[in-house]
């Protein structure tokens, strides 16, 4: 294994694979905060050169957190298909990169390939990709999933309706749901981040969503994004959840900070499959984000892209319906500005798709980062171009509870028009039935009028 | 016998009808339902609150729409230009973002700190950029500040009130109502307060270092929150019993969302005084304090 | 953590007397990182008593001992002791409210029923209670529309209109199923209330006690009654007789917005919703079945969309048990030794009158005299909207004004009870306290809206002392 190179007359040597991975990363303030980043631009390129020459086996055999001490590593390694892995283990990452970008690759090829890749390999090849490479690669790796409807088909593009409210006022939440639906949002999920994540509150909101969904026969899924254990208890008591949500991390210690183990997720999935109301088989919803492990001091000296890839390897085990990175939420100490946020959004989407999970993205920014709505609209366009399964929809891009901005209700149809996509087909048909769009997908006078639900 | 919301609804409805009658005109940057201002000035795009702004031309149920809009400050009923936002609401949004960004990226005026009679100090952060990217440094007081605080603040106080800029300089607008309300409440409970330290480039963790430094039984930090859109003024109060850097975050009791549009600063101050008394009595704070 | 208030509802109506017990679930809905926000999250009926005939002594008096026995038996049956109750309401409705000992019965029952059980009556408040019990408020909210409920009882028909969940109108007509009584055995008319006899006369029917109960003739009377209900809703032109049928003369139904949905509750309602069952129409000894069927058939009333009431015969008692109590705001200031407070009249101040402390003091002093009875100063609650997010200085000024204005009240030994709409009770209360060192006697709550002429009951604290249950009574039994 070669961990040394000469670039422009200067010798660069790296401590181990983890060090190469970290230094090969595009510039991220979080890696600098962790003291892991390349010191110079040249060192970054030197690391990429070394990384390009490492093999798939080198990366598989050097997970950034040891197998013995980390559940996430174990799940990723144990889920690997050995024959597929054997067939590619001798490839360098440069070869893997070009294999991915090759015109001849089909979605089926990606499905097979992904079963032979560990998360470190996925992260490694990501670091050798330009932004456009990430988009071309991701677009070919089509991943669909089914809960009540099917997400991820190439002709469709979905949106999570996120009706957050600073006091969980049920009337306020419903008003936001109506408005979002009137703008064609909500085919991915109607999912609330609750302020009060107590059992009673979670159950009440699930019933609120379910009643509304039934009353208007909306072909979608609902979810209240509380802690997994609270949602499970609510389901046991009969609350009508279609999906169970959990934030996850790329290390066991990171998951501990979320009060989470793999067994809990398995239990949650089993519970929904046996007692939930959704069709399935994909009934889990996960959120991730670069930097979360560092913020809980659970990064084990690994960079934030590699840890993010490990989230996806971990998530895949539970066959989720939705996974999205919340890409600009964590703040400038992890992603400094819009440039870093854009890069991270494309990386995460690519790595998710290459891992084989139905990836979406919360393209967002807080008010203490150097970014604005234009940046996030740009990212959304890039993501849809790259085949992203879904983004978020909040009223006018302004989440009044999480106090950040992301893609707004109006973006859903704007992006579908721009890329000639539909909503998830069943939901699209419902939009026609409700008179929001014509069968030719032209917006009607009712499109944008929430009061069509107020009768 | 109209209630206030009724009147507001009525006014909005009438204005919206006027707007609807005029729907032949293309939507323009200046909305007809803006507040009246003198000739020759474009109205303030932020003058109408998001609850009252309504632009749907022919809603199926106008009354009910206006009614549910009162239940949330989310930007509903904004209508559209094709699939995109109307100019008016887009500019309102951008103005609100500008407010939030200015709250983050501008500094609290030194003159204000002096006028309040605060004992001024700073963390080891040297610049706003360092403060934003290095939260660890925003939790540590610089040497000069430590000396000054040790010298000028009483040791072993029952309660120390502390003020920090945090992520919003605009949040300081609450302090002139918040501080006296806390003081009055505590005085009623027989607790008096000494001088108030102020920390520039302050993260919440700085209260732990201060508490340990002056051996204060309880520290209460009033600090600017990371602003939401148009909520640049929101402030939080963090309270801890015998704070020190080794105690977990869950040791802190928090009251957030303090500003005129959330919990008003005077009302919040009165509540905080009661909480501080309980923390003192029970010698516990954070999750251990059963509310 | 959910807290539970145990609540009782007792309805002594023209025909029936009923008791229900409910649990009112109270929860802090805040994240724990803000000020608390304690609200009612659920109301569950845990015990529905039997439907008893209201015991009467003679034509004009309620059998107090008989009613007490019914109530006592229902308490025992439900396994609820008086001291377990947190709240509730006793209502005396319909014709019963006009009996000579109604006031006595009401007060006896409200004492009997627990420390904080309020006595409520008045035809419009009955209408509101029944409308909430029938779920018309919820229906109007869910459908973003207006919804009315007509509670048709034995003696009166009480109408309440809700607009998107909020009360919009209430009124009452002297129409009911028991205004004409028939002996099911002899099939003769045994009683006709005067006003009903006049109505019969008006529509050309000869009706008198002792007559055989002629079905066609009584059906015609029931139709005339249904027509009057339709007239009250603007669905038929008003007849010359119509003004007489109003329970409170001159208090006609006013519909601020068109009525889009209508439900029926009360003892007669089941016959509105269900088709005739072929049974004896006089089996209850009155014309209730006929009235229900007439309403059911009425083409005028059918013009409004009819929806199913959540409760029919029990709407009033359920409303009394579950829908009368509300909670104060969650940041308040009070002396627990002053609670509970019962039936305080409201001294309401306008926004202009509370613009500053001096004006507030003046307005209170002027209005306090209105409440003087025989030179005595009764306790009152001072209510006003209050500024939204007041400054500290504003709170000081208001506190000083309130104390100056209420000087005589305090001198008479009464507590200072302040009720505001906006969230300022904590700072206002503490500012008042800082001017009243060492003295108990303050109750300062917010998030409660009351009007001039209302009365208020404030109960003992709940949710770890953070909120007070409040019942606002729009009219107290005279």
> Would you kindly state where each structural domain of chain B is located, as residue ranges?
4-105, 110-288
Select from C130, C171, C106, C71 the least CA-distant residue to C323.
Answer: C130
Is the CB of residue C441 less than 8 Å away from at least one CB of chain B? Answer: no
Give the model's pLDDT for residue B37. 57
Query: At C74, is the secondary structure helix, strand, or coil?
Result: helix
DSSP conformation class of B124: S
The shortest CB-CB distance from B62 to any of A367, A373, A451 is to: A451
Quick count: other Cβ atoms within 10 Å of Cβ C324? Answer: 26
User: Residue B75's pLDDT band (boundaries 50, 70, 90)?
Assistant: very high
∠ CA A440-A443-A444, nearest 5°, is: 105
Q: What is the pLDDT of residue C121?
A: 66
- A195 reaches C (C-beta below 8 A): yes
Rounded to the nearest 5 percent, the helix, strand and coil shares of chain B are 40, 15, 45
Neighbour tally for C212: CB within 10 Å? 11
> Tell me: domain B4-105, CATH 1.10.3210.10, correct?
no
- Closest Cα in chain B to A455: B61
Q: Which residues of chain B are within 8 Å of residue C144 when distances are taken between CB atoms? A: 61, 63-65, 67-68
CA distance linking residue A262 with residue A75, whole number of Å = 9
What is residue C134's predicted lDDT score, i.e. its pLDDT? 97
Does the bond joining C123 to the residue before it have cis omega, within 30 degrees of 0? no
Share of chain A above pLDDT 90, in %: 98
Q: How far apart are the first and last CA of chain A?
A: 69
Is B232 a residue whose pLDDT tops 90? no
- List Cβ neighbours of A320 (8 Å cut-off, separation of 6 or more): A145, A282, A284, A285, A286, A357, A358
Given this model, what pLDDT does residue B273 score? 97
* Assigned fold of B110-288: Rossmann fold (3.40.50)
Cβ-defined contact of B96 to A414 (cutoff 8 Å)? no
Q: Is B174 on the interface with C (CB under 8 A)?
A: no
* Percentages (nearest 5) of helix, strand, coil residues in chain A: 50, 15, 40
What does the pLDDT read at residue C139?
Answer: 95
Beta bridge partners, B198, equal: B120, B163
- Name which CATH class applies to C126-315: alpha beta
In chain C, residues with a C-beta closer than 8 Å to the C-beta of A195 are: 29-31
Q: Which residues pair with C152 in a beta bridge?
A: C157
DSSP-assigned letters across all residues of C302-366: GGSEE---S-STTHHHHHHHHSSEEE--SS-EE-GGG--EEEEEEEE--TGGGSSHHHHHHHHHH
Q: Across the interface, do B59 and A443 touch by the CB < 8 Å criterion?
A: no
Please judge whether C449 and B4 are an interchain contact, meaning their C-beta atoms are less than 8 angstroms apart.
Answer: no
Which helix (H) or strand (E) element contains residue C38?
strand C38-48
- Using the beta-carbon criterion (under 8 Å), do C30 and A167 form an inter-chain contact? yes
With tokens 């001024």, the residue in question is B120
Give counts: helices (H), strands (E), chain C. Answer: 14, 23
> How far is the alpha carbon of B40 from chain C, nearest alpha carbon, in Å?
33
pLDDT at B8 over 90: no
- State how far residue C463 is from chain B, nearest Cα, in angstroms: 10
Q: Assign C313 a pLDDT band (cuts: 50, 70, 90).
A: very high
Give the phi and the psi of residue C55 in degrees, each rounded to 5.
-75, 130
**Domain locations in chain C as residue ranges:** 3-120, 126-315, 333-473
Instruction: Say yes or no to pLDDT of B231 above 90.
Output: no
CB–CB contact C37 A454 (8 Å): no
Q: Is the ipTM of this complex over 0.95?
A: no
| Candidates 3.30.420.40, 3.90.340.10, 3.40.50.1820, 3.40.50.450; CATH matching C3-120 | 3.30.420.40
Write C217-222 long-range contacts (CB < 8 A, 24+): C218/C180, C218/C182, C218/C287, C218/C290, C219/C290, C219/C293, C219/C294, C221/C180, C221/C196, C221/C287, C221/C290, C222/C287, C222/C290, C222/C291, C222/C293, C222/C294
Q: Inter-chain contact A195–C30, Cβ cutoff 8 Å?
A: yes
Specify whether the CB–CB gap between A451 and B62 falls below 8 A. yes
Question: What end-to-end distance do the CA atoms of chain C give, in Å?
Answer: 41
> Half-sphere exposure of residue A430, counting CA atoms within 13 Å on the CB side?
21
- Give pLDDT tens digits for A47-57: 999 999 999 99
The sign of the torsion formed by the CA atoms of C462, C465, C466, C467 equals: positive
How does pLDDT run across A106-149, given as a tens digit for each residue? 999 999 999 999 999 999 999 999 999 999 999 999 999 999 99
Residues 66-95 of A with CB under 8 A from C: none
Q: Which residues contact A111 (CB under 8 A, 6 or more apart)?
A: A356
Whole-angstrom distance, CA of residue C146 vs CA of residue C358: 42
How far is B97 from B104, CA to CA, in rounded Å?
11
Q: What's the rounded Cα separation, in Å, for the pair B120 and C323?
A: 54
* d(C-alpha C81, C-alpha C88), whole Å: 13
pLDDT digits (tens, 9 = 90+) for C161-211: 999 888 899 999 999 999 999 999 999 999 999 999 999 999 999 899 999
Minimal CA–CA distance to C473: which of C458, C456, C459, C460? C456
Query: For the segment C272-312, what is each residue's pLDDT rounded down to a tens digit?
Result: 999 998 899 999 999 999 999 999 999 999 999 999 999 99
| Other C-beta atoms lying within 10 Å of the C-beta of residue B94 | 15
Q: What is the pLDDT of residue C226?
A: 98
């Amino acid at each position: 294994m070669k961990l040394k190179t000469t670039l422009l007359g200067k010798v660069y040597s790296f401590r181990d694979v983890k060090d190469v991975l970290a230094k090969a990363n595009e510039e991220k303030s979080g890696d600098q905060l962790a003291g892991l980043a390349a010191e110079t631009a040249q060192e970054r390129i030197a690391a990429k050169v070394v990384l390009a020459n490492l093999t798939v086996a080198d990366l598989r055999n050097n997970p950034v957190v040891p197998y013995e001490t980390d559940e996430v590593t174990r799940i990723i390694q144990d889920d690997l298909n050995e024959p597929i892995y054997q067939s590619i283990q001798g490839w360098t990452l440069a070869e893997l990169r070009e294999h991915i970008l090759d015109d001849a690759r089909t979605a089926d090829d990606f499905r097979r390939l992904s079963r032979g890749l560990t998360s470190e390999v996925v992260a490694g090849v990501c670091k050798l990709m330009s932004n456009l490479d990430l988009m071309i690669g991701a677009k070919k790796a089509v991943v669909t999933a089914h809960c009540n409807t099917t997400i991820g088909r190439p002709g469709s593009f979905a949106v999570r309706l996120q009706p957050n409210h600073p006091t969980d006022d049920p009337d306020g939440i419903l008003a936001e749901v109506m408005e979002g639906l009137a703008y064609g949002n909500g085919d991915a999920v109607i999912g609330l981040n609750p302020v009060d994540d107590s059992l009673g509150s979670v159950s009440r909101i699930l019933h609120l969503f379910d009643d509304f969904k039934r009353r208007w026969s909306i072909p979608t899924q609902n979810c209240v994004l509380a802690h997994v254990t609270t949602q499970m208890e609510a389901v046991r008591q009969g609350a009508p959840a279609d999906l169970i949500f959990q934030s996850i991390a790329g290390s066991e210690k990171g998951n501990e900070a979320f009060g989470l183990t793999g067994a809990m997720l398995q239990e949650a999935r089993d519970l929904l499959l046996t007692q939930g109301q959704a069709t399935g088989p994909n009934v889990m919803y996960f959120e991730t984000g670069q930097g979360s492990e560092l913020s809980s001091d659970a990064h084990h000296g690994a960079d934030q892209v590699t840890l993010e890839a490990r989230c996806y390897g971990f998530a895949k085990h539970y066959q989720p319906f939705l996974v999205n990175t919340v890409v600009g939420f964590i703040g400038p100490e992890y992603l400094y500005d819009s440039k870093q946020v854009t890069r991270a959004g494309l990386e995460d989407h690519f790595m998710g798709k290459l891992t084989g999970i139905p990836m979406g993205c919360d393209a967002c920014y807080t008010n203490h980062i150097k970014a604005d709505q234009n940046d996030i609209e740009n990212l959304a366009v890039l993501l849809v171009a790259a085949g992203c399964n879904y983004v978020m929809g909040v009223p006018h891009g302004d989440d009044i509870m999480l106090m950040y901005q992301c893609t707004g209700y109006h973006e859903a149809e704007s992006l579908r028009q721009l890329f000639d996509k539909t909503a998830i087909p069943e939901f699209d048909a419902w939009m026609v039935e409700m008179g929001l769009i014509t069968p030719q997908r032209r917006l009607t006078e009712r499109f944008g009028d929430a009061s069509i639900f107020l009768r | 016998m109209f209630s206030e919301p009724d009147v507001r609804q009525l006014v909005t409805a009438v204005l919206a009808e006027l707007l609807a009658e005029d729907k032949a005109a293309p939507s323009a940057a200046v909305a007809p339902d803006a507040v009246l201002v003198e000739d020759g000035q474009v109205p303030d795009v932020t003058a109408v609150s998001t609850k009252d702004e309504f632009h749907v031309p022919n809603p199926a149920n106008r009354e009910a729409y206006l009614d549910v809009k009162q239940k949330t400050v989310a930007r509903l009923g904004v209508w559209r230009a094709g699939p995109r936002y109307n100019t008016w609401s887009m500019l309102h949004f951008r103005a609100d973002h500008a407010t939030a960004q200015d709250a983050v990226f501008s500094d609290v005026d030194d003159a204000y700190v002096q006028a309040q009679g605060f004992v001024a100090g700073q963390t080891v952060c040297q610049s706003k950029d360092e403060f934003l990217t290095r939260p660890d440094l925003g939790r540590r007081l610089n040497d000069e500040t430590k000396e000054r605080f040790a010298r000028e603040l009483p040791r072993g106080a029952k309660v120390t009130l502390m003020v920090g800029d945090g992520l919003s300089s605009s949040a300081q607008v609450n302090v002139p109502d918040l501080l006296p309300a806390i003081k009055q409440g505590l005085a009623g409970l027989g607790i008096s307060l000494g001088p108030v330290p102020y920390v520039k480039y302050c993260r919440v963790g700085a209260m732990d270092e201060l508490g340990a430094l002056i051996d204060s039984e309880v520290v209460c930090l009033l600090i600017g929150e990371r602003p939401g859109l148009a909520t640049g003024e929101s402030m939080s109060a963090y309270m801890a019993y015998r704070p020190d850097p080794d105690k977990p975050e869950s040791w802190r009791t928090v009251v957030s969302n303090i500003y005129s549009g959330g919990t008003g600063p005077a009302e919040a101050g009165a509540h905080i005084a009661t909480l501080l008394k309980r923390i003192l009595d029970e010698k516990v704070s954070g999750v251990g304090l059963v509310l | 953590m959910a807290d539970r208030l145990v609540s009782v509802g007792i309805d002594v109506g023209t025909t029936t007397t009923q008791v229900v017990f409910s649990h009112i679930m109270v929860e802090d809905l805040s994240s724990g990182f803000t000020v608390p926000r304690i609200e009612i999250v659920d109301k569950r009926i845990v015990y529905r008593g039997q439907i008893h005939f209201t015991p009467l002594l003679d034509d004009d008096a309620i059998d107090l001992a008989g009613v007490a026995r019914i109530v006592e038996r229902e308490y025992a049956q439900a396994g609820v002791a008086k001291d377990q109750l947190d709240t509730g309401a006793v209502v005396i409705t319909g014709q019963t409210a006009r009996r000579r000992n109604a006031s006595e019965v009401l007060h006896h029952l409200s004492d009997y029923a627990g420390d904080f059980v309020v006595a409520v009556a008045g035809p419009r408040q009955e209408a509101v209670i029944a409308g909430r019990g029938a779920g018309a408020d919820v229906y109007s909210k869910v459908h973003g529309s207006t919804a009315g409920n007509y509670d048709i009882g034995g003696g009166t028909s009480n109408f309440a209109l809700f607009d998107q969940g909020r009360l919009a109108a209430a009124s009452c007509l002297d129409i009911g199923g028991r205004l004409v009584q028939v002996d099911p055995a002899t099939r003769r008319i045994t009683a006709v209330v005067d006003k009903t006899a006049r109505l019969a006369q008006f529509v050309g029917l000869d009706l008198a006690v002792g007559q055989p109960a002629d079905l066609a003739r009584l059906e015609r009377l029931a139709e005339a009654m249904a027509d009057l209900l339709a007239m009250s809703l603007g669905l038929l032109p008003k007849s010359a007789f119509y003004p007489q049928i109003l329970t409170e003369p001159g208090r006609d139904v006013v519909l601020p917005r068109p009525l889009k949905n209508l439900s029926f509750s009360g003892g007669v309602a089941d016959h509105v919703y269900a088709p005739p069952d072929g049974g004896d129409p006089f089996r209850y000894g009155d014309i209730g079945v006929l009235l229900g069927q007439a309403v059911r058939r009425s083409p005028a009333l059918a013009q409004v969309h009819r929806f199913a009431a959540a409760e029919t015969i029990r709407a009033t008692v359920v409303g009394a048990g579950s829908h009368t109590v509300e909670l104060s705001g969650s940041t308040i200031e009070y002396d627990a030794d002053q609670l509970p407070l019962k039936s305080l009249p409201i001294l309401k101040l306008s926004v202009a009158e509370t613009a500053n402390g001096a004006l507030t003091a003046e307005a209170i002093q002027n209005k306090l005299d209105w409440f003087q009875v025989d030179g005595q100063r009764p306790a009152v609650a001072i209510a006003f909207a209050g500024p939204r997010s007041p400054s500290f200085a504003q709170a000081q000024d208001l506190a000083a004004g309130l104390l100056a204005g209420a000087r005589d009240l305090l001198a008479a030994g009464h507590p200072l009870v302040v009720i505001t709409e906006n969230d300022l009770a904590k700072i206002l209360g503490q500012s008042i306290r800082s001017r009243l060192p060492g003295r108990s006697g303050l109750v300062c709550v917010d998030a409660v809206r009351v009007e001039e002429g209302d009365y208020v009951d404030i109960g003992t604290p709940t949710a770890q002392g953070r909120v007070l249950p409040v019942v606002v009574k729009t009219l107290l039994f005279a």
